[in-house]
């Protein structure tokens, strides 16, 4: 997660600084998140969701991948998940609209939704800019608590390298 | 997120079973559908075989927009992940808004309530089976003197608002996400149209089908390009759906612009998706010709195994629990109105929405200002200022009390703003002008003014005397 985000920020300094300007408490939240990020483990589904779980494997942050965001095109609206809801792996938990397409966001693991990124309601385009950023102003969708089953689901997911290979193969087709 | 390219070939149980018991398979040419006998043993078996095929064509015998979209949704959710399906249907007059749109902004709800002028000879529903007709004589064919109701529908796919009627045929292709391409099936329909002599048809950069009409070589933009078909998409984990309209011979083209222009347009700032207006036109092709040509192009793309199209009757579809569940969702005011993304309504420029406001404000009491923030159709915050109270009071604090009384009101259930404002104020207040203005803005027609009351009620009234409405038997909503 961290490395990807760093690359992304380097690649899009203008976009990122625009976000930074608009979000006063950024330094605080960035520090808070970096604690999680340094120990986190990130995996992907074949349907292009990512989840980044904490070192104790009890909580996570999820979103849609940068690759998917690029494929979808300009995201104009995000229907966020419902806070407090318990979902099973593969359940539709929300949706994004881009270029006349409503696309489901599916739960990458069984989990309980604890927080949603309400900022995306105002700035859905943040997903296009920083899809895998879990800080304030980032494109993350929700924070979750993993269930026991959720941890097993997580084990089935692809790691960064496998996902990279997977999307590279997709692009060839 | 289903989008991208590679198909996940998960073997999955294919269950459209409740439909399969009932659906008939036409052995004749599709143009003689009205003479298809009711379900027969041999046909049932033939349809069952079809289910295992990776190619299927279905045609709806219903003209109900809620039912057709629910059949389509059922096919999207339950069809085999490897299959490619073409579904064709025509709806009775309806305004179909996109999943993330705002009906108060996209639709003239007053014009919607008026309906369309009565037709002396109603056009025959495109693919109606005799069974359906016998079981439920359509109220629309027997009431030639009352206006034709217009349904208001929020679909599950993205995109903007469109108008449907008997002169418009819809196509829908459901396929694996691997094959998802926003233009692929619009191009298929363009080939069908060209084959029917609509030479100028092409797919534009918005993935819609337009026709270029001879403009003396002035090129595009010289007033010669008209939209004839709009596209929208829905992507699930395992499937992708592209559906589109096609204006063949609508008699209501001249009425569409007014229907899709809201009086609140200049006052509403909405999240979500706003429609893009385009000049529209009929292609002048018959419904059956169009359907035959599209099926022909579909078979050219995917193979003759797709067959001639299986007709899904209204009764058969309504016998399917999942389809009915889908219909219940779609007719619910909490879906049609409550799914609306957050929006604000302000009579005067605000920081968030600094536009100059339209002139209609002159009907308001001098100094009246209001601002609402509305989420899921529910008022979250309200500010009213400048109302005239009958007692000597601190008007500002009375305004504040009244404004607080409006919070949590659901916009689509308000039957008369004059009443709502009066009830929100503990002391007598003059609300007639402000109330009438807000009624006008939000499509409300108080009972005294015919048609009556809340917009949710008006929409339900257009459903209740239809076949689907009768099937649901009054439990559409709990007003």
Domain-embedded: residue B389: yes
User: In this complex, do A102 and B272 lie within 8 Å of one another by their Cβ atoms?
Assistant: no
User: In this complex, do A65 and B234 lie within 8 Å of one another by their Cβ atoms?
Assistant: no
- If asked whether residues B312 and B363 sit together in one domain, one would say no
Q: What is the ipTM of this complex?
A: 0.79
Enumerate residues 323 to 352 of chain B having a beta carbon within 8 A of any beta carbon in chain A. Answer: 341-342
Distance from the A117 Cα atom to the nearest Cα atom in chain B, whole angstroms: 15
Domain-embedded: residue B336: no
By residue range, what is the domain housing residue A118? 2-172
Alpha-carbon Rg of chain B, whole angstroms?
A: 24
| High-pLDDT (> 90) share of chain B, % | 56
Residue A172 contacts B, CB cutoff 8 Å: no
Minimal Cα distance from B230: which residue of A?
A: A100
Residue predicted with more confidence, B143 or A135 = A135
State the DSSP H helix or E strand holding residue A171, giving kind and residue range, or none if neither: helix A160-172
Q: Are A62 and A48 in contact (CB under 8 A)?
A: no
pTM of the predicted model as reported, rounded to 2 decimal places? 0.81
When CB atoms are compared, the residue of A67, A100, A102 closest to B207 is: A100
Residue B207 contacts A, CB cutoff 8 Å: yes
- If asked whether residues B233 and B93 sit together in one domain, one would say yes
Domain-embedded: residue B132: yes
- If asked whether residues B302 and B184 sit together in one domain, one would say yes
- If asked whether residues B374 and B348 sit together in one domain, one would say yes
Domain-embedded: residue B4: no
Query: Mean pLDDT lowest for which of A127-131, B36-40, B296-300, B418-422?
Result: B36-40
- If asked whether residues B91 and B164 sit together in one domain, one would say yes
- If asked whether residues B222 and B149 sit together in one domain, one would say yes
Q: Are A131 and A68 in contact (CB under 8 A)?
A: yes
Distance from the A32 Cα atom to the nearest Cα atom in chain B, whole angstroms: 28
User: In this complex, do B4 and A170 lie within 8 Å of one another by their Cβ atoms?
Assistant: yes
User: In this complex, do A102 and B231 lie within 8 Å of one another by their Cβ atoms?
Assistant: no
- Predicted local confidence at residue B461, as pLDDT: 83
Q: Provide the domain count of chain A.
A: 1
- B202-245 pLDDT, tens digit per residue, is 999 999 999 998 765 555 444 689 999 999 999 998 899 999 99
Question: Helices B395-406 and B417-424: crossing angle, nearest 10°?
Answer: 120
Q: What is the CATH number of the domain that holds B140?
A: 3.30.930.10
Mean pLDDT of A24-48: 59
Mean pLDDT of A51-59: 91
In the predicted model, is pLDDT for residue A89 greater than 80? yes
User: In this complex, do A103 and B182 lie within 8 Å of one another by their Cβ atoms?
Assistant: no
Minimal Cα distance from A106: which residue of B?
A: B1
- If asked whether residues B111 and B227 sit together in one domain, one would say yes
- If asked whether residues B316 and B390 sit together in one domain, one would say no
- Predicted local confidence at residue B479, as pLDDT: 42
Distance from the B99 Cα atom to the nearest Cα atom in chain A, whole angstroms: 8
Q: Provide the domain count of chain B.
A: 2
Q: How far apart are CA B472 and CA B347, in angstroms?
A: 40
In b/e form, how buried is each residue of B346-381, taking b as 16+ CB within 10 angstroms?
Answer: bbeeeeebeeeeeeeeeebeeebebbbbbeebbbee
- B309-323 pLDDT, tens digit per residue, is 899 999 899 989 999
User: In this complex, do A106 and B237 lie within 8 Å of one another by their Cβ atoms?
Assistant: yes
Domain-embedded: residue B469: no
User: In this complex, do A121 and B3 lie within 8 Å of one another by their Cβ atoms?
Assistant: no
- If asked whether residues B168 and B247 sit together in one domain, one would say yes
User: In this complex, do B237 and A48 lie within 8 Å of one another by their Cβ atoms?
Assistant: no
In the predicted model, is pLDDT for residue B435 greater than 60? yes
- Predicted local confidence at residue A19, as pLDDT: 40
Q: What is the CATH number of the domain that holds A34?
A: 2.40.50.100
Contacts of A72 in chain B (CB under 8 A): 3
By residue range, what is the domain housing residue B210? 17-331
In the predicted model, is pLDDT for residue B141 greater than 80? no
Average pLDDT, chain B: 82
Residue predicted with more confidence, B55 or B18 = B55
Domain-embedded: residue B477: no
Domain-embedded: residue B89: yes
Domain-embedded: residue B465: no
């Amino acid at each position: 997660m961290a490395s990807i985000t760093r690359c992304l920020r380097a690649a899009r300094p203008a976009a990122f600084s625009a976000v930074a300007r608009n979000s006063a408490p950024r330094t605080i939240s960035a520090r808070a998140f970096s604690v999680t990020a340094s120990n986190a483990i990130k995996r992907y589904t074949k349907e292009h969701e990512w989840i980044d779980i904490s070192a104790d494997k009890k909580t996570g942050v999820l979103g849609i991948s940068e690759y998917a965001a690029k494929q979808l095109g300009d995201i104009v609206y995000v229907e966020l998940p419902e806070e407090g809801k318990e979902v099973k792996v593969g359940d539709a938990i929300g949706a994004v609209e881009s270029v006349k397409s409503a696309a489901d966001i599916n739960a990458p693991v069984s989990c309980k939704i604890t927080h949603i990124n309400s900022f995306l309601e105002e700035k859905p385009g943040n997903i296009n800019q920083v899809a895998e950023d879990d800080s304030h102003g980032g494109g993350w969708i929700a924070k979750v608590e993993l269930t026991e089953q959720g941890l097993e689901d997580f084990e089935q997911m692809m790691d960064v390298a496998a996902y990279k290979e997977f999307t590279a193969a997709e692009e060839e087709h | 997120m289903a989008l991208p390219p590679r198909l996940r070939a998960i073997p999955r149980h294919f269950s459209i079973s409740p439909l399969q018991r009932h659906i008939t398979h036409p052995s004749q040419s599709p143009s003689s559908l009205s003479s298809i006998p009711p379900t027969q043993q041999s046909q049932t078996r033939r349809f069952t075989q079809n289910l295992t095929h990776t190619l299927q064509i279905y045609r709806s015998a219903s003209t109900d927009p809620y039912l057709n979209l629910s059949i389509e949704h059922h096919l999207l959710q339950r069809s085999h992940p490897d299959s490619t399906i073409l579904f064709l249907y025509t709806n009775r007059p309806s305004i179909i808004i996109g999943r993330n749109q705002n009906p108060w902004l996209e639709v003239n709800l007053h014009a919607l309530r008026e309906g369309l002028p009565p037709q002396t000879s109603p056009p025959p529903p495109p693919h109606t089976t005799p069974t359906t007709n016998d079981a439920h004589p359509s109220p629309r064919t027997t009431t030639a003197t009352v206006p034709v109701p217009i349904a208001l529908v929020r679909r599950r796919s993205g995109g903007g608002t469109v108008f449907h009627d008997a002169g418009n045929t819809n196509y829908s292709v459901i396929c694996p996400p691997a094959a998802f391409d926003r233009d692929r099936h619009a191009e298929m329909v363009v080939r069908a149209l060209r084959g029917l002599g609509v030479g100028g048809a092409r797919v534009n950069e918005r993935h819609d089908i337009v026709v270029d009409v001879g403009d003396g070589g002035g090129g595009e933009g010289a007033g010669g390009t008209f939209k004839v078909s709009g596209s929208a998409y829905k992507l699930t984990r395992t499937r992708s759906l592209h559906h589109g309209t096609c204006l063949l011979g609508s008699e209501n083209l001249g009425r569409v612009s007014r229907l899709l222009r809201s009086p609140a347009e200049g006052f509403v700032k909405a999240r979500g998706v706003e429609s893009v207006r385009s000049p529209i036109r009929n292609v002048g092709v018959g419904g059956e010709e169009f359907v035959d040509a599209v099926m022909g192009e579909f078979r050219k793309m995917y193979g003759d195994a797709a067959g001639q199209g299986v007709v899904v009757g209204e009764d058969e579809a309504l016998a399917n629990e999942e389809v009915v569940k889908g219909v219940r969702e779609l007719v619910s005011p909490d879906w049609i109105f409550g799914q609306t993304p957050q929006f604000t309504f302000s009579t005067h420029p605000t920081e968030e929405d600094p536009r100059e406001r339209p002139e209609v404000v002159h009907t308001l009491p001098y100094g009246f200002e209001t601002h609402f923030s509305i989420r899921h159709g529910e008022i979250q915050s309200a500010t009213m200022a400048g109302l005239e109270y009958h007692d000597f009071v601190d008007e500002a604090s009375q305004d504040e009390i009244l404004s607080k009384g409006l919070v949590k009101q659901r916009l689509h259930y308000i039957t008369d703003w004059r009443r709502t404002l009066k009830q929100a104020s503990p002391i007598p207040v003059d609300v007639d002008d402000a109330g009438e203005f807000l009624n006008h803005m939000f499509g409300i027609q108080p009972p005294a003014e015919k048609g009556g009351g809340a917009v949710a009620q008006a929409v339900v009234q257009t459903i209740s005397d239809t076949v689907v409405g009768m099937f649901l038997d009054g439990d559409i909503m709990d007003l």
